[in-house]
């Protein structure tokens, strides 16, 4: 079950059993300052378009047993006019997560990027069109509890 969503209200009203979430470009927060994607217990793919959810302060993705991929388009979860860098991103306890891809300037004002207990993780990519992506530019990036193995 999947669909493309064009507003924060679409996201809030989704069935918790959805497997794929695709957020359009330029989706506004409408005053919502934080979102916890953990309520979507069957989620496998989370894809967020560019210029979406600007002004959001907190993003949580935790305990999703089937999540395999998170992709965030350019300039999302960003607020170029904001000065407050007390924003946090938390990605934890997603045992099947293989990739986290964040395009340029997304989460630029976030001072916390916590990634923990994602043992299947193969790719963390901060994509920029130039040399720098500016994603999480105020954060110390810390990856916890990854298991390195050899074949």
- What is the value of pTM for the model shown? 0.86
- Please tell me the predicted confidence (pLDDT) of residue 118: 92
Residue-level pLDDT at 135? 77
User: Per-residue DSSP letters for the chain?
Assistant: -EEEE-SHHHHHTS-TT-SEEEEPTT---TT--EEEGGG-TT--EEEE-TT-STT--EEEEE--TT--EEEE-TT-S--TT------EEEEE--TT--EEEEETTTTTT-SEEEEES-TT--EEEEE-SSS---TTTTSEEEEESPPP---
Q: What is the pLDDT of residue 6?
A: 79
pLDDT at residue 131, rounded to an integer: 56
pLDDT in tens, the chain (151 residues): 666 777 888 888 888 999 999 999 999 988 899 999 999 999 999 999 999 999 899 999 999 999 999 999 999 998 766 666 788 999 999 999 999 999 988 988 888 889 999 999 999 888 765 556 677 777 776 666 555 555 5
């Amino acid at each position: 079950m999947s669909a493309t969503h064009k507003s924060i209200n679409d996201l809030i009203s989704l069935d918790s059993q959805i497997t794929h979430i695709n957020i359009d470009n330029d989706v506004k927060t409408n005053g919502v300052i934080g979102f916890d994607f953990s309520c979507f217990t069957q989620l496998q793919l989370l894809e967020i378009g560019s210029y979406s959810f600007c002004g959001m302060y907190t993003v949580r993705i935790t305990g999703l047993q089937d999540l395999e991929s998170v992709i965030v388009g350019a300039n999302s979860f960003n607020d170029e006019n904001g000065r407050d860098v007390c924003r946090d991103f938390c990605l934890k306890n997603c045992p099947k997560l293989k990739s986290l891809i964040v395009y340029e300037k997304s989460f630029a004002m976030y001072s916390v990027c916590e990634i923990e207990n994602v043992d299947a993780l193969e790719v963390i990519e901060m994509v920029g069109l130039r040399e720098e992506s500016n994603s999480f530019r105020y954060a110390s990036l810390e990856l916890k509890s990854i298991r390195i193995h050899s074949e």
